[in-house]
Structure 1
Amino acid sequence: MDEVKPWYLSKTIWSALVSVGATCGAMFGVPVDAGSQAALTEAILQAVSAVAGIVAILGRVGATSRIG
């Protein structure tokens, strides 16, 4: 495992956060099944990846120096 990626692109991190959120939701009477948790995790990860890509593009467009 030599690949390095930012924490916010980790499926494990997002799965854990969704799991914690689903548990908290269940405490307040909002049941979330395992299938919904998996779909929510995937949707969040795709959204985070898209936002990261947009931020990278905007960063490059706003840069004041050339890539060498």
Structure 2
Amino acid sequence: MIAIKPWYFSRTIWASLITVLTGAAGLSGLPVEAGDGGLITDTVLQGVSAVSGLIAIFGRLSAKDRIG
């Protein structure tokens, strides 16, 4: 593995965070369906991808220096 990616693109990190949050929600009395963990992870990853894309576009539009 030579390629480096930001932590927020890691499916393992997001699946782990969802698992922890689901467990905490269950302990606090909030009913959570265990079978939907994969769907929740995919949805969160899509949201993170959309937000990071918007940040990249906004960053490029507000940049003072040109590329190249």
Provide TM-score, normalisation by structure 1.
0.89
Deviates more, 1:53-62 or 1:25-34: 25-34
- The ranges of structure 1 where at least 4 consecutive aligned residues each deviate by more than 4 angstroms after the TM superposition are none
What one-letter code is carried by the residue in structure 1 that aligns with 2:12?
T
How many residue pairs match? The answer is 68
For 2:42, the equivalent position in structure 1 comes to 42
Residues 32-65 of structure 1: CA distance to partner in whole angstroms, max 9, x if unpaired? 3343111111100110011000000000000111
For 1:5, the equivalent position in structure 2 comes to 5
Question: What 5-or-longer segments of structure 1 have no aligned partner?
Answer: none
Question: What 5-or-longer segments of structure 2 have no aligned partner?
Answer: none
The answer to whether the Cα contact below 8 Å between 1:15 and 1:38 also exists between their aligned partners in 2 is yes
